Amino acid sequence: MQKIAFLLLIVQGIVLVVSGVLLEAGTAGPENRIYVNKRSRIPPGRNHHVFIVQNQIQSWMASQTAVIICDMWDKHWCRGAGRRVEELAPVIDNFAGEARRKGFLIIHSPSMVMDFYKDHPARLRAKNIKPAPDIPDGIDEWCQAISDEEKRNWPVDQSNGGCDCGSRCETEYIWTRQIESIAVEEDDFLSDSGSEIWSVLYHYGIQNIILVGVHTNMCVAGRPFGLRNLARFGKNVVLCRDLTDTMYDHRSFPYVSHFTGTDLVVEHIEKYICPTIISSDITDLPPFRFSEDIRPRVVILSAESEYEANRTLPDLAHELALNYNLSCELLQGSTDKEGAARNYIPGLLCLPDADLVVLFVRRRALPESDMDLFVKYLSQGKPLVALRTSSHAFNVKEELVPDLTEWENFDREVLGCRYSGYPHGETLVRIVPEAENHPILQGLTGLFRIRETIYKCNPLEPSCTVLLMGSCVDGDDENSRYHKDPGVETKDEPVAWTNFYGKSRIFYTSMGNGRASFKEAWFKRLLVQAMFWAMDLPIPEIIPGEKNAK
């Protein structure tokens, strides 16, 4: 991933700024730099109730970067939390080791146990650091909220302490040290003091900080050295979202699985506190996942500039997590129409562990290693749900730079169609009578009219099963964006069907406009049912909106 990002910088030779991805070129050579994909959720305008996912690819100097390991204690009052710490610790140790080898500073911050380390070289190094001249007021205090969080609802109820065990564990402070499976080297630092850590950051010229450890909704966010303080006092801080855990009880609001609770907290952090990254950015290994997290894993690939997928797909992922207990990883590529950045979708190391890929991509080439990951995913017989422009997802129709590759016949080979453009006009959608009992169409009846154009996809391969057909009709009023082309004859076209690519279950729909289809409850029902059909899972009871909304 790092070599690919650097290649893009060399190809461009300048700073690239795009609406979905930002690349910052550096002055130093690649040997002392690391490339990370910072994911944030930002309001696209004045509407602060709507968010789009944005990735920012940044180049960091290793010597200006630190990892802070938060509260990975040897014991915890909650048995479940303790088990998860034991499972997470070796992964964090490997992450810290790789970061250390790259030249990062490692700061261990197991709060309230500094006496255990009073003679450890790493503790003495922190304790004897000269105070920085710019220590902020409040850096030694907990921070419960920053300005962007004001009047925002915390996504989970943690008032009972967040113990998720069968019978609630008794609260007691039983930790004595950091868990032994995380090595503390002599050249590391040991501190739980905000001012000490700030002074370490100052004297070592640290500008970029990665927080790992537990617990995201409590210590990681609120400690003196936590995300809120570092963000509000100007540090370039990120949460490593796969190397953390929450204190959340599934029997409390919003009544979702423990791990969905963590995802909701991460979503809140990306909106109001700071960006996040995944450990793969440092280790080049697949992201970590707890063994108890058995939720089906959905990876959503989005990279297009026409139909607002970077707004609609995050909302869909949120509903899938809340209502259907799915684990959703959003991989948002550039929404720009030109430039090298548009051909890079960060985070594809998630694909080997995916149970389903949802694709909404338009005319992108991918680095060969990333395309190989996608091809391998399908060759293993894993399912795909593809939307609208994905019929020409990897057909770029332009000269490619080295190391980028396309899949020109993806529509024929995988989806089973032949995309050939679209006429103007709105679309009248009807269920194919022979398919009315198909699981994907469960609960859907009648005609549906949507204010988006129909795609010409015929002829389909014999292996396809058509579910929905569409007719091109004229818009009813002068405000419609889609008036039928005068004098142009149009034929009915399939707008949703299934196919098989080897053993992979495939669902495709040419619908997906954020200004049209995604506003329709029936369309979102269609997508949810298609996802479960593709994963060969029972079709769930469809829940309108969010069942656990406050």
Tokens of 537: 């899972």
pLDDT of residue 397: 79
pLDDT category at 96 given cuts 50, 70, 90 is very high
Choice between 20 and 405, residue whose per-residue pLDDT is larger: 405
Tokens of 304: 């297009």
User: Which domains are delineated in the chain?
Assistant: 59-162+173-283 (3.40.50.850), 295-534 (3.40.50.880)
Q: Are 338 and 308 in contact (CB under 8 A)?
A: no
Q: Are 179 and 98 in contact (CB under 8 A)?
A: no
DSSP-derived letter for residue 178 is: B
Choice between 242 and 450, residue whose per-residue pLDDT is larger: 242
pLDDT of residue 14: 29
Tens-place pLDDT, residues 372-398 = 999 999 999 999 999 999 999 999 877
Q: Are 519 and 527 in contact (CB under 8 A)?
A: no
DSSP-derived letter for residue 63 is: G
pLDDT of residue 48: 63
Asked whether residue 25 carries a pLDDT value surpassing 60, the answer given is: no
Asked whether residue 27 carries a pLDDT value surpassing 50, the answer given is: no
pLDDT of residue 403: 85
User: What are the residues whose beta carbons fall under 8 Å from the beta carbon of 370, sequence distance 6 or more?
Assistant: 4, 344, 345, 348
Rounded to the nearest 10°, the torsion over CA 347, 38, 82, 85 is 60
pLDDT of residue 39: 95
Tokens of 375: 């091809």
pLDDT of residue 283: 95
Asked whether residue 30 carries a pLDDT value surpassing 70, the answer given is: no
> Is it true that the peptide bond before 459 is cis, omega within 30 degrees of 0?
yes
pLDDT of residue 341: 78
Asked whether residue 321 carries a pLDDT value surpassing 50, the answer given is: yes
Q: Are 90 and 130 in contact (CB under 8 A)?
A: no
Angle at 309 between CA 12 and CA 493, to 5 degrees: 115
How many CB atoms neighbour CB 386 within 10 A?
A: 26
pLDDT of residue 29: 42
pLDDT category at 451 given cuts 50, 70, 90 is confident
Burial of 491 (0-12, 13-18, 19+ CB in 10 A): exposed
Tokens of 423: 């006429």
Choice between 21 and 474, residue whose per-residue pLDDT is larger: 474
Q: Are 231 and 273 in contact (CB under 8 A)?
A: yes
pLDDT category at 22 given cuts 50, 70, 90 is very low
Asked whether residue 24 carries a pLDDT value surpassing 60, the answer given is: no
Of 443, 449, 457, 451, which Cα lies nearest the Cα of 496? 457
Q: How many residues does the chain have?
A: 550
Q: Determine the average pLDDT of the residues in 38-54.
A: 82
pLDDT of residue 300: 97
For 111, the 3-state DSSP assignment is coil
Q: Are 84 and 261 in contact (CB under 8 A)?
A: no
The CA distance from 240 to 276, in Å, is 6
